[in-house]
Structure 1
Amino acid sequence: MSVTETPTAYSGARKGEDKSFEGVWDTPTGLRKLSSVSHRVVGRRFIYTGFVFFLIAGVLALMVRTQLIVPGNTFLDLETYNQVFTMHGTLMMFLFAIPILEGFAVYLIPLMLGARDLIFPRLGQFGYYCYLFGGIIVLSSFLFDAAPDGGWFMYVPLSTKAHTPGLSADFWLIGITFAEIASVTAAVELITAILCARAPGMSLTKMPVFAWYILITAFMIAIGFPPLIIGSILLEAERLLALPFFDPMLGGDPLLWQHLFWLFGHPEVYIIFLPAAGMVATMLPTFVGKPLFGYGFAVAAVVTMGFISFGLWAHHMFATGLPILSLSLFSAASSMVAVPTAIQIFCFIATLASGRPRLTVPMLFILGFLSIFVIGGLTGVMLASVPFNWQAHDSYFVVAHLHYVLIGGMVFPLIGAFYYWAPHFTGRMMSERLGRWVFGLMFVGFNATFLLMHLTGLRGMPRRVATYAEGLGWDRLNMLSSIGSYILAAGIALFVFDFFRSRRHGPKAPRNPWGAGTLEWLYPPVAPGFNFHAIPPVESREPLWDQPELLEREAHEVDGVMHGIRDGRRETLGCDPVSGAPLYVLRLPHPTWIPMLAAAGLAILFGATLASAYWVCAVGGVIALAAFTLWAWEPSDSGVTRDAGMGHELPVNVVDKRAHMHVALVGTMLVLMALFASLIFGLLYLWNIRPDAAETVTRPGLVAAAVAVVAGIAVAVFGQFTRRTAVSDRNLGAMALSLLTAAAAVASAGALGLSLMPVDPWASALGATLWATGGFTGIVLFVLLYWALFNAARRLTRRTGPGQSMPDFNLATFAKGSGLMVVVAGAFFIAGAMGGVG
């Protein structure tokens, strides 16, 4: 059924009800569209913005290749060349690869799982604006002639104030750190959405494989991004406040930055690969006409890869002088990760062999992915060998390997995904004829560019050099690589032309144009603001194949739960995280400006730091805090029930460990614990590497540290009792325990501060890291204090009624996590006071 045949597809038998339903889910128009919280709108914004950054990074890459096309070229001077390759890598790694993949996940996950929207729509809008404002901060460095030039990895001491005295490194550190907030918030949102908002019957074993890929990726982001965030904050603090975290003269170590960076950087390679591989695993069965071969093996391989990827960060540090035993362990881990990768590739190949593939444009890009990524994987195994790595380190061989893994493993599936899911964005099909030209140009151009770089690197050409002399055997290879880059760019340009051309002139897409089996194709491509008028029960991983009755009816006539609306509210179904059984009705927010205001406040706070306008930073912080308060200050719908249809009488927003709010808090605590663990890693590293410097650190106060530990235990205990009294609807008891929790938080923070008073943070790196650990713990305690007072205020003003104790329920979990941080930090301070650290 084509789009032209269904202009009134949602005005059939239940016309009056449908009109009301559409009105509730309608997307705002005009300027008000900026306030939209729809996952469709937010997902498209991530995708389109990420692709704009990709095009900018591509232009910068062409400038690099133009500079290297002949020996002794003067197209770019040395300083500009450093800025260009730095910004190319920065945009590609931080502002394109992960955000655009998260954009596809934000768009597709609710559609695939049978949800009407993401579970925290406002969080999605907030994350997007953090990403946009962070990217603008990074790009605005060009306007101030302060573009970063220290490489996308920003190694110290090159990026310290002594060697980079301007603001270029500050633009990078502040902008990227701010943009990373978007990735972390999206990770928490996606974890919660996948676990808590699925169609009836969709257990974990019946989830679309793409959801598994995104779930593991989201957990990896939640654990892998905090080390970079902490490292960036420490480096900016060193540049801004002269704190000596990485200064070897004061007990610091430049390698600490590399450890923190690559604790993020190597898992990031798999964070980029896994969503793209999930796209392949979703598209491939469609064109073969058979389910994915070895679903369970593929899922187990993804989970295994998620674990192993965190054990090989020093794969990038083989030439830094690490002990031989460490090199052997990291080399083994680097080789071991090839096993789950190979299992996934074999599942894809076996799926291809199980049927007769249709050679559509997306299928061509899947085949291109398989051939290119396998080559990149083989060179990765080569680089896992320490002797070979020493020879090829920082050569163009590594550049070739990196691009074979990232472009082959991510960009080719991504372009195929654009062709596959384009009907969702435009309602029209992209051109098969032009698409084949796009694939041909990209495939030939990519291999001409990067295959030859392996030889360039083996002939000794180092990476990140702006020019080279004649007669070194690099001339012809660089010429051919540069020509290949122009061919690759032509393919990308033709793709952009095809996408915009198809918006007006492409053939209109029918319902389920590819004959896919997943739920995102249940409705016609151009659908209203909602996803499902009724959420259908699911019996398998390919419901559109195994339940043909879903496509035999008009989309709005499909039977399911949650038919229609209640009280003019947006609603979707909350489920048990494991079984997928309907658990509760989840009420969602309407369009709002508050998340955008919160992101703008944080952007002011971060951006004003560049100008040293600290009063403006304070204003931004107040704006953000006020916005977050308004965000949370809303009446709860818990405690009521409604008929959800098909025999389900469900409560609204339950107070339970399986509830979406609690799952999201656990995900948030995972992020906070990873941030805290990164600081503890820094303490242990400096203590172990520079014991001579550790001996010079003034010892923290023993009594105050012991009091902090006791107060931290009290925080956890009071928080737990807050949950018990709140769940039993003892209003005064819950309010009193919230105040006791707040008091314990104040006592903990004060005791930690008193313990650190003898320590001079400017005198040593270890002392500065002790203060950083105490400062982070203090920020967590401030959040706990604010939360506890907030809950008490809600109860005092009767904003919290019977059966609406979820804020107190979650406060207990946050209090226990905060108390654990206080106890661990206090234990380190006690060890220092007794001579164990300092």
Structure 2
Amino acid sequence: MTRSPDHIPPAHDRAPKGNRDLSFGALWQQPSGMAVLASVSHRVVGKRFLITGFIFFLIAGVLALLVRTQLIVPENTFLDSQTYNQFFTMHGTIMMFLFAIPMLEGFAIYLIPLMTGARDLVYPRLGAFGYYCYLFGGAIVMSSFLFDAAPDGGWFMYVPLSTREFTAGMSADFWLIGITLAEIASVTAAVEIIAAILCSRAPGMRLTRMPILLWYLLVTAFMIAVGFPPLIIGTLILEGERLLGLPFFDTALGGDPVLWQHLFWLFGHPEVYIIFLPAAGMVATMLPVFVGKPLFGYGFVVASVVTMGFLSFGLWAHHMFATGLPNMSLTLFSAASTMVAIPTGVQIFCFIATLAQARPRLTVPMYFILGFLFIFVLGGLTGVMLASVPFNLQAHDSYFVVAHLHYVLIGGFVFPMFGALYYWVPHFTGRMMSERLGKWAFWLMFSGFNLAFFMMHLTGMRGMPRRIATYPEGIGWDRLNMLSSIGSYILAAGIAVFIFDFFRHRWRGPAAGRNPWGAATLEWLYPPQAPGYNFRAIPTVHSREPLWDQPELTRGDPEALPGALRETAPDHRRETLGCDPVSGAPIQILRLPHPSWSPLILAVGLALVFVLVLAGQYVWVTAGAVIALIGLTMWVWEPSDSGVHRDTGLPGLRLPVNIVDRRSHLYFATTGTLLISFALYASILFAGLYLWNTQPQISATTAAPDMAAAIGALVGGGLLALLAWGANRLACAQRRVGAALMDLLCVLAAATTAVALGLALMPVDPFASAFGAMGWTLGAFVAVYLVVVCYWALFNALRKLAGAVRPGQTLPDMLLSTFANGVAVMVIGAASVFLMLEVVP
């Protein structure tokens, strides 16, 4: 008997061979032994981020204690100045890049599917790939200690201190290459978070019913997608100057060291809010639980979060008031720095109003919430002070700024993080931590923190500059530094109590019951350590607090609850429900991968490329690239599931698998990738425009690109978009051979366009001026995307010609058309810039 297309099992990610009667639980079983490295479960990956991030936090904390020990008395010789510089640089680097962002990613990856009513993230392999990039990037940075080449130029790596002229060894290279690899994890997490929140919510969970934490994470993900690319471009061009001698920051050849500050703080100041917002979202999630009332002003909080996301990109020069910016710029950035306090204040007042609704239960998480409110408000007040240009110029690079930074970041992230760990640890381990030890940990951390960092306000006001290894006796800093160092030891003692309590509770902690805190959100529907599939049946929700407002969800066995996708897929595939991004109505069934080695292989290949560049073994870089290409091909070489329909388990609802339209999760991933790509592209254009404006007399001496070749690239970009559109149309018309031929023409057009861009830049000497080097950077960036289009189009053509595409499976063609359109815009923009340089004197 011939089976219908709806029942043809795909060739990828099947259940284990010989086990076609796989039970629902066994289908979601996690691998064991070495195979655990192939796990893509959001629970496993989320815990990996959290554990690794916390280990980095402890390393950074030890470095901070060594720094404070050096400063405990005047003229101390505990550390020499070189080691001191390395320790404070690595402390800041680890805290900002290897702890704060990865920890929030870990919470997001773990909690989003549980809160949205999904069985996993929509891209589980992307999360696993991001973790391995983060791990390898962090290992590269930390390995600098093994080679006696730890970075010592500050966590901001200011130019020209970090150029080859002033930092001749490899210390800055370890920082630049390791951090760039780690940042790849952040931008992949942004795509993952956006797609998961918008495309995989439970039925009935429209945007206005989402748990408040999801709003915080969604805005944060968009901020990461736009805010991290300037740093990535900055690290790449600085490494280009160090390795190749390109003069991006050489003032004699039209470069400008201040360009690095612009690119760094375009990332750096939004990052403060990227760190703060998820932590505030955790507070907004936990606070109603212990008050027993819904969050006050849900709509105001959402509006303030979105507003803060926009405003945070308008005040990067808040850290650059002393660099000689024009007075008009100082005024605008000062105003923006003050304005951002308004949405922050709205959130704080909503939290206070929530507290006022009822008497809260003073649990350990609640103590950390109250500590957050106290410390962060104080940090916000000093932030408003630093937004004033006259005061900023007086306090710039003093310990007053150090105090402010730690009040904002430790108060705004570390205290909520510890509260969140106490709150969600029962979900991670199935056991409760000690209330008594938890309160000891809080009070030691709270008192130690305020003793350590409040004193720094005073040392800063007395003129103590940042980043000094020692100081003379008798100038008014002695006792204040002594108290700060003692406070840091007390703070460390509180963290040590937490660590002891964590390991103790794994063996002696009482078992956590179902929903031990009496929470309202879906992650507590099952008992702690729920099965790997999260939800046996995906429930329908009717409010923002489903566990409070829908008693049927909390009565009886959650395995027996009615809902969608209750039964195993006919072809034994992992599935979850996909929704309309706005209304939350079910629109598709999302097929999810089984454990896969491809993320690890791809990450290993990419890490090898970075390590071999760091080691100067350029001949072997190709080997790493080949491994990465193998991993990528294993990842994507799979037939699409689009065109298949099946029952959902909801009455009368039969849905397609992986819909082919702009509501698809794959479309959101493609557009999210393009958003990041355009942010990278805009960062290069910004850098080029800045160099052209700062030293026009040198930029004017740069040779103009070849006009004929630039026109050819311009035409090629338009042709590329047209051919990709044609391939999509032919695929929709089920003309497989014609679509494959059009894909091959796309390959030819993309390759020809890349060659045309190269020919256009041939007259330009990238070593003669910074402006010329930036032109080559723009051309190389666009060429990389053209190579991606070549690979993708060739891949689609081979799949069609190999018969791996069934009728109706047109999603890859739609996505390629969308991506090619974005690349065509980049090509046309770059070619237009080259033509203007020919015309404009």
Q: Distance in 2 between matches of 1:803 and 1:17?
A: 26
Q: Distance in 2 between matches of 1:76 and 1:181?
A: 34
Counterpart of 1:811? 816
Q: Distance in 2 between matches of 1:718 and 1:693?
A: 40
Out of 269, 274, 288, the residue aligned to residue 285 of structure 1 is 288
Counterpart of 1:573? 577
Q: Give CA-to-partner distance per residue, 1:338-386, whole Å, 9 cap, x none.
A: 0000001111001000111100000000000000000000100000000
- The answer to whether the 8 A contact 1:17-1:564 is kept is no
Q: Distance in 1 between matches of 2:620 and 2:306?
A: 44
Q: Distance in 2 between matches of 1:18 and 1:812?
A: 39
Out of 606, 617, 621, the residue aligned to residue 621 of structure 2 is 617
Counterpart of 1:540? 543
Secondary structure in 2 matching 1:319: helix
Q: Distance in 2 between matches of 1:139 and 1:616?
A: 23
1:709 maps to amino acid: L
Counterpart of 1:36? 39
1:299 paired with 2:295, answer no
Out of 597, 603, 606, the residue aligned to residue 610 of structure 2 is 606
Unaligned 5+ segments in structure 1 are 1-15
2:700 maps to amino acid: E
Counterpart of 1:727? 732
Q: Give CA-to-partner distance per residue, 1:58-103, whole Å, 9 cap, x none.
A: 0000000000000000000000000000000000000000001110
Offset of residue 609 of structure 1 = 1.1
Counterpart of 2:552? 549
**Residues 712-723 of structure 1 mapped to structure 2, 5 A cutoff:** 712-723=717-728
Q: Distance in 1 between matches of 2:376 and 2:154?
A: 25
**Residues 382-461 of structure 1 mapped to structure 2, 5 A cutoff:** 382-461=385-464
Out of 455, 460, 463, the residue aligned to residue 466 of structure 2 is 463
Out of 637, 643, 650, the residue aligned to residue 647 of structure 2 is 643
% identical aligned pairs: 69
Offset of residue 723 of structure 1 = 2.1
Q: Distance in 1 between matches of 2:824 and 2:797?
A: 20
Q: Distance in 1 between matches of 2:738 and 2:341?
A: 55
Q: Give CA-to-partner distance per residue, 1:612-634, whole Å, 9 cap, x none.
A: 11122110011001110111001
**Residues 431-830 of structure 1 mapped to structure 2, 5 A cutoff:** 431-566=434-569, 567-647=571-651, 648-830=653-835
Over 3 Å counting, the alpha-carbon distance change for 1:448 and 1:19 in structure 2 is farther
2:553 maps to amino acid: L
Counterpart of 1:12? none
Counterpart of 1:3? none
Offset of residue 727 of structure 1 = 2.3
Over 3 Å counting, the alpha-carbon distance change for 1:287 and 1:767 in structure 2 is same
Offset of residue 139 of structure 1 = 0.2
Q: Give CA-to-partner distance per residue, 1:232-281, whole Å, 9 cap, x none.
A: 00000100000001110110000000000000000000000000000000
2:576 maps to amino acid: T
Offset of residue 17 of structure 1 = 12
Q: Distance in 1 between matches of 2:289 and 2:127?
A: 29
1:267 paired with 2:287, answer no
TM-score normalized by structure 2?
Answer: 0.97
Offset of residue 728 of structure 1 = 2.7
Q: Give CA-to-partner distance per residue, 1:770-789, whole Å, 9 cap, x none.
A: 00000000000100111011
Deviates more, 1:129-138 or 1:712-721: 712-721
Offset of residue 736 of structure 1 = 2.1
Offset of residue 529 of structure 1 = 1.4
Counterpart of 1:348? 351
Q: Give CA-to-partner distance per residue, 1:616-674, whole Å, 9 cap, x none.
A: 21100110011101110012222111110122211111111100000111100000000
Q: Distance in 2 between matches of 1:641 and 1:814?
A: 26
1:617 maps to amino acid: V
Counterpart of 1:153? 156
Offset of residue 43 of structure 1 = 0.1
Offset of residue 724 of structure 1 = 2.0
Out of 225, 229, 232, the residue aligned to residue 226 of structure 1 is 229
Q: Distance in 1 between matches of 2:779 and 2:89?
A: 33
Counterpart of 1:4? none
- The answer to whether the 8 A contact 2:640-2:812 is kept is no
Q: Give CA-to-partner distance per residue, 1:5-43, whole Å, 9 cap, x none.
A: xxxxxxxxxxx9997011000011111111100000000
Over 3 Å counting, the alpha-carbon distance change for 1:601 and 1:744 in structure 2 is same
Q: Give CA-to-partner distance per residue, 1:423-478, whole Å, 9 cap, x none.
A: 11110000000000010000000000001100100000000000000111000000
Offset of residue 835 of structure 1 = 3.4
Q: Distance in 2 between matches of 1:761 and 1:83?
A: 33
Q: Distance in 2 between matches of 1:18 and 1:458?
A: 72
- The answer to whether the 8 A contact 1:45-1:128 is kept is yes
Offset of residue 187 of structure 1 = 0.6
Q: Distance in 2 between matches of 1:162 and 1:88?
A: 24
Q: Distance in 2 between matches of 1:219 and 1:21?
A: 35
Counterpart of 1:362? 365
Q: Distance in 2 between matches of 1:184 and 1:526?
A: 29
Counterpart of 2:205? 202
**Residues 87-166 of structure 1 mapped to structure 2, 5 A cutoff:** 87-166=90-169
- The answer to whether the 8 A contact 1:397-1:456 is kept is yes
- The answer to whether the 8 A contact 2:645-2:656 is kept is yes
Secondary structure in 2 matching 1:322: coil
Secondary structure in 1 matching 2:322: coil
Deviates more, 1:664-673 or 1:705-714: 705-714
1:794 maps to amino acid: R
Deviates more, 1:452-461 or 1:614-623: 614-623
Counterpart of 1:167? 170
TM-score normalized by structure 1?
Answer: 0.97
Secondary structure in 2 matching 1:645: coil
Secondary structure in 2 matching 1:583: strand
Counterpart of 1:10? none
Secondary structure in 2 matching 1:224: helix
- The answer to whether the 8 A contact 1:18-1:564 is kept is no
Q: Distance in 1 between matches of 2:726 and 2:389?
A: 54
- The answer to whether the 8 A contact 2:20-2:572 is kept is no
Q: Distance in 1 between matches of 2:277 and 2:460?
A: 28
2:198 maps to amino acid: L
Q: Distance in 1 between matches of 2:738 and 2:438?
A: 66
- The answer to whether the 8 A contact 1:284-1:348 is kept is yes
Counterpart of 1:254? 257
2:318 maps to amino acid: H
Out of 325, 328, 337, the residue aligned to residue 334 of structure 1 is 337
Q: Distance in 1 between matches of 2:327 and 2:622?
A: 49
Q: Distance in 2 between matches of 1:582 and 1:325?
A: 51
Q: Count residues with an aligned counterpart.
A: 821
1:313 maps to amino acid: W
- The answer to whether the 8 A contact 1:604-1:616 is kept is no
Over aligned residue pairs, what C-alpha RMSD do you find? 1.1
Q: Give CA-to-partner distance per residue, 1:380-430, whole Å, 9 cap, x none.
A: 000000000000000000000000000000000000000000011110000
1:782 maps to amino acid: V
